[in-house]
Amino acid sequence: MKKKISKTFLCQSCGQEFSRWAGKCESCGKWNTIVEESGGDRFSSTPSYKKSAVYKEPVPIDSIPSDDTKRLSSGLSELDLVLGGGLVPGSLILVGGEPGVGKSTLILEISRSMISQGRKILYISGEESAAQVGLRAARMNVLSENLLLSSETYAENISAMVEDVEPDLVFVDSIQTLTREALPNQAGTVTQLRECTQVLLETAKRTGIPIIMTGHITKDGAIAGPKVLEHLVDTVLYFEGDKLNYFRLLRAVKNRFGAVGDLAVFEMLESGLKEVKDRQRVFISSLTEGKSGSVISSVVEGSRALSVEVQALVSRTNYSQARRMAEGPDTRRLILLAAVIEKYLGHTLSECDIFGNLAGGLQVDEPALDLAICASILSSYTERPVQSGFAVIGEVGLSGEVRSVGQVSLRLKELKGVGIETVFLPKGNLAELEKIPGMEIVGISALRELEGLFK
């Protein structure tokens, strides 16, 4: 037998209550009554949940001791710089890159440097078997009892293994191969990625052991897993480079413990990866000196400045519509700057194909490179090379004006280090500059003032 619920009916017209439903009010005889239910707990002011028996009491922020924990050096100075000074204990780091770019090789290179310091490394390889990793380690001469290898793919087992082994650093290659036993989803799905990353994050924070995990990227170049991984981890590094090119770039796009945008350059050799500290031979070609279409400039990547070589090729088109293509700079920016040159300097570029490039395969989207792009286009179009030892820095507006850029002193010091003697830059930056011995600074305010740059 069903339990009878006590109900009271309230008339909207006269406000009288009655207990029998008759379709209309018994007092005034009108319709449109409403129903009130009594005796329920649905609208009770007392919450149905109970307070947890144990929780962390909030404390004043000024009473929290500062974390003076010493960072752990990876043994690679370029990598330490990208990380902001080294590996922070308890941090979770994600390294993303295309298949075959060298992520697993980078892991063994870091292991080699850490082992030489007497550190213990735990390498979790879910993509390759132990025998396959052993072949690569033998080729790179990274054979040591301090390098422990496992092919475990269950996140809970890896967490227990880290606590038992107590290594100085853990590698997980890759996060897309891990699963949690309690979940029915396949490895690599969004749910598995999120849950497995959370397990590794809690393990790193609890044990104080840094964990570096690799991750695949999508066709668009973003780390697979719709940003699920990037917001969970402490640091995100992108390992870039053409598989046909022997230079590799390691860039920080997120770093809770250092600057964002710092860049490390490695050279892929048969014996492994080698740090490239002389970037001049990577991003500047000495073979193009004295040739038209080549200009030296400087860009800022994170906390450092890089000298780069901007190249342009302008030639008569054989098609009804001229082409605009760029490798390194933004193609849309190249199209815009070509239109500015044609309008304000009177050169007929609509009849020419224009191709732009940054030497060394660097990808940069920075307004301070505008003036160098314009100078390289003008140099190639007029067949007049840039004078030796000259460089340009500046942003170009839609009316042909040259605008100020940031961190000019840092850029000039970098250009001075590669042998640049004369720099064309915006007049708006002259007031903030200090004199640099042996370097001449030429301030300009419009594109037409670039005439002194060419031979």
Q: Which residues are annotated as a binding site?
A: 97-104
Lookup: tokens for 199: 């397990």
Question: Which phi-psi region, left, alpha or beta, contains residue 319 (left: φ > 0; alpha: ψ -120 to 50)?
Answer: beta
Where is the binding site for ATP, in residues? 97-104
**Residue of 306, 107, 349 whose CA lies nearest to 215:** 107
* Dihedral Cα 164, 169, 170, 171, nearest 10 deg: -160
**Residue of 423, 367, 422, 376 whose CA lies nearest to 396:** 367
- Amino acid in the structure at residue 67: D
Tell me how far apart the alpha carbons of residues 322 and 350 are, in angstroms, rounded to a whole number: 6
- Whether residue 266 contacts residue 275, with contact meaning beta carbons closer than 8 Å, is answered with yes
- Whether residue 144 contacts residue 115, with contact meaning beta carbons closer than 8 Å, is answered with yes
How, if at all, do strands 33-37 and 17-18 pair?
Answer: unpaired
Handedness of CA 294, 297, 264, 173 (dihedral sign): negative
Report how far apart, in Å, the C-alpha atoms of 240 and of each of 215, 244, 266 are.
13, 12, 10
Give the strand order in the sheet containing 92-97: 147-150, 121-125, 169-173, 211-215, 92-97, 235-240, 247-255, 263-269, 272-275
- Amino acid in the structure at residue 32: N
